[in-house]
Amino acid sequence: MATEKIIYKKPDSLTDKNFTYCWGCGHSTVHKLIAEIVDELGIRETLIAVAPVGCAVFAYDFWDFDVTEAAHGRAPVVATAIKRVHPDKTVFCYQGDGDLASIGMAEIIHTANRGENITVIFINNTNYGMTGGQLAPTSLINQVTTTSPKGRDVKSYGYPIRVSELLAPLEGVKYLERVKVTDAASVIKAKKALKKALMNQINNVGFSMVEVLASCPANWRKDPIQSNEMIDKEISDYYKLGVIKDEK
Partner 1 sequence: MSPNKTNKILVKGNHAIVEAALDAGCRFYAGYPITPQNEIPELMSSRMPEVGGTFIQAESELISVNMVFGAAAAGARAMTTSSSPGISLMQEGISYMAGCELPAVLVNVMRGGPGLGNIQPSQSDYFQSVKPGHGDYHMITFAPSNLQEMYDFTFDAFDLADKYRNPVMILTDGLLGQIMENVEINRSRKPLYLNTPKPWALTGAKGRPGQRILSLLMQPGVLEKHNLKLKAKYDLITKTEKRFELTNMESNPDYLIVAFGTVGRISKGTINIAKAKGLNVGLFRPITVWPYPYAELKEVAKKVKKIFVFEMNLGQMVEDVKLAVEDSSKIEFYGRSGGGVPTAEELYDFIKGKVK
Query: Of 39-47, 136-144, 149-157, 180-188, which part binds partner 1 (CB under 8 A)?
Result: 39-47
50-89 mask for partner 1 (x: CB under 8 A)?
Answer: x------x--x--xxxxxxxxx--x--xxxxxx-xxx--x
Is residue 45 close enough to count as binding partner 1 by CB under 8 A?
yes
Query: Of 42-50, 145-153, 207-215, 223-231, which part binds partner 1 (CB under 8 A)?
Result: 42-50
Closest-CA residue to 101 (of 152, 187, 172, 165):
165
Kindly list the distances between the CA atom of residue 20 and the CA atoms of 9, 27, 55, 115, 123, in Å, as whole numbers in the listed order.
20, 10, 10, 34, 17
Scanning the chain, the segments in alpha helix (DSSP H) are 26-41, 59-62, 75-85, 97-98, 105-113, 154-157, 163-167, 184-202, 217-220, 224-230, 236-238
* Least distance between partner 1 and beta carbon 99 (Å): 13
* Least distance between partner 1 and beta carbon 46 (Å): 4
**If binding means CB under 8 A, how many residues of this protein chain bind partner 1?**
32
Is residue 47 close enough to count as binding partner 1 by CB under 8 A?
yes
**CA 172 to CA 116: how far, in whole Å?**
8
**CA 122 to CA 125: how far, in whole Å?**
10
Nearer to partner 1 by C-beta: 93 or 136?
A: 93
* Least distance between partner 1 and beta carbon 188 (Å): 26
160-199 mask for partner 1 (x: CB under 8 A)?
Answer: ----------------------------------------
DSSP 208: E
Find the binder of partner 1 among 33, 48, 112, 230 (CB under 8 A): 48
**CA 230 to CA 38: how far, in whole Å?**
30
Q: Which residues bind partner 1 (CB under 8 A)?
A: 15, 44-48, 50, 57, 60, 63-71, 74, 77-82, 84-86, 89, 106-107, 110
